[in-house]
Structures are given as C-alpha cells and as structure tokens.
Amino acid sequence: MEKSSKYFDRELSWLSFNYRVLNEAKSKKLPLYEQIRFLAIYSSNLDEFYRVRVANYRSLFDLSVENMAKLRYDPTKVVSDINAEVTRQQEEYLDYFDKQIIPSLEKIGIVLYQNEILANEQVEFVNEYFSREVLPNIQAVLLTTGDVLSFLQDNVIYLAIELEKKRKKKSKKKNKKKTYAIIKIPTHHLPRFIELPKCNEKYYIIFLEDIIRLNLNILFPGYNLIDSYSIKLSRNADLAIEDEFKGNLVNKIKLNLSKRKTGAPSRFIYDSKIPRKFLSVLKQAFNLSKEDLMPAGRYHNLSDLFDFPNPLVPQFELPRNIPLAHRELDLAPSILKAVKEKDIMLHFPYQSYNYVIRFFNEAAIDHKVEEIKTTQYRVATNSAIVSALISAARNGKRVSVFVEVKARFDEEANLKFAEQMRQAGIKIIPSIPGLKVHSKAALVIRRNSTKEGKQRGYAFLSTGNFNEKTAKLYADHGFFTSNEEIVDDVREMFEYLETPAGNDFKFRHLWVPKFNFRTEFKKRIEREIKHVQDGKKGYVLLKMNSLEDRKMIDLLYVASQAGVVIDLIIRGICRLVPKKEFSENIRVIRIVDKYLEHARIFVFYNNGLNETYISSADLMHRNLNRRVEAAIPIFNEQIKKDLLEILTIQLKDNVKACLLGDECENISIVNSEPKVRAQIAIEQFLLNKKY
C-alpha cells in the first residue's frame, strides 16, 4: 500500500484477486476437474500479467536518474514486491498440485506420469509416438559457454539439457566437460497432454515434454544424459507504437505484431533444481539479467490444464450450462418487432446468446433495414455475427463496423476479420489514434412502414463483447432498445467514431468519456450526499471489474464520510481501501465462481427511484480517459427491478463471495445462514420469471 494508505497498490491488488482464484482452485467442494480448470485460469492470468504489466515496469529500468525521479515510484521496487508475492503464491500452487491434485486423480484411477515405471506396452507407445509425431517437430540446439543466442520465443516451454560426452574406453580423463542443449517443446503442433494405453484398470496421462525426456538418448547418441530442466521466457507483449497520430496506424500495428514474439524479457522461469552453473550458462546465452530469473517447478505453462484430458467425462466436472429461453422473444415474430414494443434485457450466460445472433441475422435479411452500424472489440473465431454482417452487406444494406485493432492479443484476429468484411463491401472504420473503442454497441436503422419515409432505430448495447463463445462463460448483460432518445445518443456515438476530431457531440442520456462520463457520475454521487444532508437515505451500489481511478475513489471517500452507504462488487483490481476512517461506510465484495463476473452496473438510490446504468466501462483511468465507452440508462422499471434483484442476490452471496479487507486480503464470509451462492440463485430467479 502507498504511504498515504488511501490507495492499494494496483499490481498487488490484482495479485490479491488472482490469489482468490487460486483459493477457488483449492475448494474441496468443487469437482476435481473444476479445481484443475481454476488452476489453469490462475496460470493464464499470471502469464498475461507478466507479459503486460510487469513488462511495462521492466521497460523503465534503464531510465536516466532524472527521468526515474519523475516517476515518483521505483519500478525495480515494484517488480521486486510483485516477484516476492508471486513466488509465495507459486509455492502454494505447486504444493497443492503435487500433494492434492495428483493424489486425487490417482484415487479415481487417473495417473499423471511423474517418473513412474511404465508398462512395456506404454513404453512402446511412448517410443512410437516420439518417432512418429514428436521427432519431426523438434530440433536440439547445443550451447557452449560464451554463446549468445538471439532469443527464446515468448511463452514457449523449452527443455534445457545437461550432457557429457561419452568417453572412449582408452580415455583416462576423469573430469569430463559438460555440454548443454535446449529443445523447444512443440505444443504449437501437438497436445500438451497425451493419454497412454490403459494399464491395471488405470488411465495414464503424460506431459509432452516427458515423452521427449524419455527419448533424449535418440537425440544425443554420443552423449550421456545427466538431467533435463524445463525453462520458459515471458516477453513484453505490449505493442510499442511510437506515434499513433502519424502515418497509417493499422500498418504500424501489423508491423509490430511480429515484434511481440521477440519483446524484452519480463520473466525467465526455470526448474528450481537446475544447477547454478547451468543456470549461469543459460543466463549468458540468452542475455538475461538476474532480475529476469524466477525459480519455479518442474512444469511450466500450466494454463494448458484447460485441456487436461478427462477419460471419465462427464464425471468429476460441473454439468454444462443449458441457457434459459426468453419466452417473449421466442413468441415474437421477430426480435426487431419485440424490441419495437418494449426494452428487453438479456442476462448471459444464464440466457441464450442466440437472440443477439438472431438480431443481426434478421437485420441482414429484413428488406426494410437500410443500415447497420456496430463496434468490434473481441469476437469469436468463426464469428456468427461477422457472418451476419457480411450477409447484410451482400443483401445491399449499408454496413459500417468500427474494428478496434488495438484490442490486446486480438489484434491479428481483428485485422483478419476487418479484411474479410472489407472485401464483402462493409465500411471499416479503423482504430482512433490515442483511443481504444471499448464500447459494445450496435445500431440497426429500419424504414417505418406506418410513416412513409420515417426511419426507426434499434440498438443493442452490452457490458460484454460481441462474442458468442465468451458469452457462455462471462456474466454480462445485453440491452435491446428502440427508445428514440437513447437511439439518438447511439447515433451520435457512431458519428463520433467516424469523425473523432470533432468536439461538438452532445449526449443526453449516454455517459461517454471525454464528454460527460465523469461529470454525470459526480452529479449522482453529490446528489446522494445532498440526500443524506437533508436527513434522507443515501446509497450507491456499483458493480465492475476494476476500480482504480483516484478521482472516482476520492468521490466515494467523500460520499462515505458524508454518510452515504456504498456497496461495491468488484472482481479484480480495487485500489479503494475499505473500512478505514475515510471509508467506514464502504463495503467491497469479490465473487469468483463458475462464470467470470464481467458486468458493470451503477445504481444510485435517489430517494427510491434507483437510477440504474449498465456500462462497458470500469472506473479505471484508462477507461475514463483513453477509451470510447458508454454507460446506458435503464428506464424500464421491470428491468431495473430485475437488475437490482440480481445485485442484491450477489450482495447476499456467502458461498463464493469474500470481503476485501483493509490490507487487501480476501476475507471469507463465515457463520452466515442461509447459504446463498449467487450464480445458482440468479439462474433460479431468471427461471422463475414470466418472460
């Protein structure tokens, strides 16, 4: 925490969240394969954290003394604190994996190979698999002391191998010179986990690198194998665009994508059992500093546990979610006609995302639809929505798509989709220099048959991406409306995307950063403070992924000190420190469960009116200053009641929720009855609804 103690450290706060994920993996109440899935999530999260956040701090190490002083913090100290906490968590992670997960697998008849003696049939399988599948895809590289190689690929596992030359029978040399080599594990071609032949009624699963270990003698016929160790290098994955405002930004991104693979090191992890001398050779060979080095276990890239085989499926897994139907939309002749009658809210993944795909497909073939506009941030592979947009263009509709090619790790996919759509005749609006478009919005313009020449707009606005795959895993809300005032604001936002240099855009209801987001949020907080001063109730309920912006946090502190009660449901980063003298009326809870809590909802009590917004934006500095976002008001009273009921259920969660303490710790909720698991209760709530 910073010296002022008013703000948690951003990075340590994120690590606190990821530690909550690790704790979920350790829950004995979960089926075994669900525990394994959470271990994969933890590892995946941590890899991205090092490739982005830690890499950013590492890039500051070489600043001049003068420039370092301007930072007001020491990046080496930040990285040191991060590494210390990660090392502690990693030790706990590996201990649980070795002492709990592997024995639990064995109890159900699944053996994860860890140097066990294999049956003859299994040895034959391993040798044959190596010769047929592995050998054509690997190449050993010998190292000698003093060598400096170009690079290790980002986030790829290698085996570092210690060898010695076989002595001739007549040789009397006692001190044999060590030889070193590395081999890239070909997980880009082959699965990380391979199932071996069943033996003694047990299933056997082996790491790909262990198949290589068992066949190293084939690769090094003139050497004796001493041992092998797993290593991995994480590199800076941020695209360094020197000047977004000059030249062709899309071309710059294309050129920089290849550089991601060879970015500056952010973490070199290695098997802690590796000899010091060998580690020194690797350090020199790959031009690493001591700050790069982090000891770890025998296996890396455990995010691959997402694909850990379950030969007993569906046993030891959670049942798959069957999305609920929306009766009103099912009975309606079309989505557009249903939305013309009333606003409709969908709650994912509890309800089917197929309604969103239907919305685009109907618009694509409706002869009265003239125009479709939408944003694209992260879409699914083989996206049904992109297919619908291409169909619409081929059917003569005017289609415009804003493609955010700066969406981290989705740049390449977005460039590909943009080219496909452009070839189909879709107008592609490129990224805006200096800004990311994070708003999730679509607008359909249709001729109104009752009034000749008059058009009607239909909007879909969401807290989540236009991605049918993640909609099965992320808890989000999607809003259909034909309300003319909101539609007009959505039109205005798309005009802003097409001509971002303008400053005369007016938003009556939407909150859009740069224009009115901060001021409108502040007005609502100040109104709650005024209600308390007038002897009335003041209450604010906010749900989001992250709370990091200091100005917003300070507003909440002021409100708390004035007597406004504030409930925060925050999954990830939270720099606000609860339950201090300046925040005694603020409670922060964190929910980690089967679905990723991804929605943003803002509720301001306002004398019982419960003014409610859904939003694409978290209260982070980047969202409120360097992104195009939208917070959307909910006028429909029934939808407001439903959202408030969902939030209330989450505030009552005492199974998967924890409280955030004033030391950034996760505090379990104990001795609380009845037991409420929010995601189960929300599904039941929606199941009981009439629509």
Q: Which residues are catalytic?
A: 438
User: How far is residue 492's CA from residue 6's CA, in Å, rounded to a whole number?
Assistant: 38
Cβ-contact 512, 494 below 8 angstroms: no
Question: What is the spatial distance between Cα 552 and Cα 558, in angstroms, rounded to a whole number?
Answer: 10
Chain center to CA of 213: 33
CA dihedral in degrees (446, 451, 453, 455; nearest 10)?
Answer: -30
> Edge-to-edge strand order for the sheet containing 202-207?
110-112, 202-207, 193-199
Question: 627 and 583 in contact (C-beta within 8 Å)?
Answer: no
DSSP readout, 369-410? EEEEEEEESS--TT-HHHHHHHHHHHTT-EEEEEE-TTSTT-
161, 183 contact by CB (below 8 A): yes
Provide the token pair at 480. Answer: 């259909």
The DSSP output letter for 351 is: B
Q: What is the dihedral of CA 674, 675, 677, 682, to 10 degrees?
A: -20
Cα–Cα separations (whole angstroms), residue 592 to 85, 226, 614, 666: 20, 44, 20, 11
DSSP 276-300: HHHHHHHHHHTT--GGGEEEE-S--
CA neighbor of 308 nearest in space, from 31, 95, 45: 31
Alpha helices for 97-215 (secondary structure H): 102-107, 120-129, 208-213
CA 503/CA 495 separation, integer angstroms: 11
- Which letter does DSSP use for residue 166 in this model? P
Residue type, 361: N
Helix (H) or strand (E) holding 230: strand 223-235
* Per-residue b or e along 627-664, where b marks 16 or more CB atoms closer than 10 Å to that residue's CB: bbbbbbbbebeebbebbbebbebbbbbbbbbbebeeeb
Question: Cα 147 to the chain's mean position, in Å?
Answer: 38
Asked if 303 contacts 49 with a C-beta cutoff of 8 angstroms, the reply is no
Tell me the helices (H) and strands (E) count for the chain, helix number first.
Answer: 22, 27
| Cβ neighbours around 670 below 10 Å, total | 6
Provide the residue type at 237 as one letter.
A
What tokens were used for 478?
Answer: 């999607």
